[in-house]
Structure 1
């Protein structure tokens, strides 16, 4: 292995170790936030001690993992008691692996992960994902981390002079450049007499101009006249409106209406007898169609009556109930009999 490869591997190892230390602090803080009874009273400060606790195979580590799993699935607590009492810890290890598979965090045969025989980073990631499933653990851990971050920021080295000044408060005067700037702002805010005189003259000129305009516009005077009297101001306004309307009409007439007004009036054709003849023929045709319709309706009605005579029976002079063909046949038979009697 070359020197560059060794240096690169060393850098990667250092980065991995730093990442593991940050992660183990986060997991340990999450356990404290979740009020895990197995980490109470430990007061670990070093990351190596936390790694020794959480990533080294031991009964304490197994109990912590079992507590996390039982917090997620309370049914696992009874299984833990039965397994530890009768079948040994392997059954509990398998059940925790099955729970991890159900949560899609590991496989059912990842027993080395449950026992702590894999890399610390994999174990810490597994513990971190399990802790996020405990209700209220994530919010408490974030709140605790925020508090620790705030305390670290407050007690940083650059903030110590501020705490010293808080213990011995004194009212220091403003710096010289701030005081000079403040005085300059005050002096600039004072109005000068020359500027005030110019503003007064401008206001007087504006007032006189407004009064002159008011005198020229008599219709703006406050003396209201009666509606029945035609005042010169009203005539002036009406004339102005009429002038505007006439100018508008002239422009519209020149652009749009003149071409229509200069046309000759339309001439009507004198050959109206053709249209009259066509109208008469159409009326006659309509009359014939109506007559044909009536004839057709009468024919249909007559056909129905004939069909009724031929098909429906009726009573004849002698009280016989026969239809027309049967009655005709009966009459024919009688005539034949009568003729035979005459010839005999």
Structure 2
């Protein structure tokens, strides 16, 4: 239930941020229901794509150039990929998170991504928080549990004071007189309180110490410390009963005194890790050398008679010219 409320608050905050930033794609909508906002912001649609594109152009003005827009109109996926690349540059997502840009992931992740983007729009977050505070105040005021209080505020009623209070206000004697039993109960309660205070003062020797400054320590601070200690003890008892009791009842573990075993295992693991790194580097070097040899054999790099030729063609030409030269010598 708390997660649903948090998601609704984040949804309203994102929508309020768009309104505060004067996004043209939410002006005139005036959505009030959370389901309508969720349909607008977290469901794949052309409208949602336009909102994301507007946010990206507000963060990076080069994102909305005419040349770029003409290229995106030819291929719709270009806009999605460019927004993903911008999110990667802002360290908010990966370049391959195209489902996040299209709106095919969970609403929680989409709202978190939009909230992070809108925090980068100048002057957007502060205005949205101010607007959200006003909306939360209005929603809380018109909540179902507060309607009776609101009705009483709109139509107030005056309850007359008791007779003895009226008499005190008028300066006359009250017709209300406490009974002897009530007087005895109050006197007994006062006496018990005084005896308890005296006992507490006798037990707390630091209260009678003249060297102790009253500004540093006082009975009120003692009461606060006692309340804090009670809360800490209650919290520890709860944690002990739920999590620590099973571990405290176990026997202590027995550790081996043979530390050489751990040292040898560590050395073997370190040597194995080093060997794996060497094998990885050898494999990468072999792959790089193979690619370089293939490029030398297939790509034209050597000039002959104003044209580039491959290594094999060049070697074949040299062999041919050598054979012709030798045949001329023998003839």
Which interval holds the TM-score relative to the shorter structure?
0.3 to 0.5
Which entry has the higher C-alpha Rg, 1 or 2? 1
Superposition TM-score, scaled by structure 1 size: 0.43
